[in-house]
Amino acid sequence: MKRSTFALSLALALAMTIGLGAEVKAACPTVSCSSAGNPGDFIGTFGCTLVSTSSSGLITVSLLQIASDGNSNITAYAVVNNSNNGSGNTFVDWNTKSGTGTYCLNTDLTGYIFPPASAGICPFAIFVDISGFEVRLLDSTQNNAGAAVCELQ
């Protein structure tokens, strides 16, 4: 099966939405890029592994696929999750979304991914490897630790 083209930003947003949907989240920090980087440095379909833990001890592992258009927009994402929740069904099957997430990059290839407001989740700090083949993400939600490594597909 051919891999779809995705943008990294949107995939992370979805993974965190599903992975942390049951958690009560604190206010998000106000973040922005300080220099005008080239949004074209972040383009393509990325496959990600995201691990997050909440202050209550819930650990969620997600596989993500995200697409970026290289013009500061996340265009599509898909996610599947599993957690160590003590009750109920811990596995959440693939969920595909299209969305309107955005991102910004600084000239040093750091920046932020901003999930759609409807997702109800905080921005992700992002670092794009100079090769453009790998991206790393960090969740900015207070009392939550989440990080992802994503590779160009």
Q: 8-152: what fold?
A: Lipocalin (2.40.128)
Q: Kindly list the domain boundaries of the chain, sorted by start residue.
A: 8-152
88's CB contacts (< 8 A; 6+ apart) are none
What are 134's strand-pairing partners?
Answer: 151
| Residue pLDDT, tens place only, 45-100 | 999 999 999 888 999 999 988 889 999 998 877 888 999 988 888 998 888 776 67
Do 43 and 68 touch, CB atoms closer than 8 A? yes
Which pTM does this prediction carry? Answer: 0.78
Task: Say which residue, 145 or 12, is predicted with more confidence.
Answer: 145
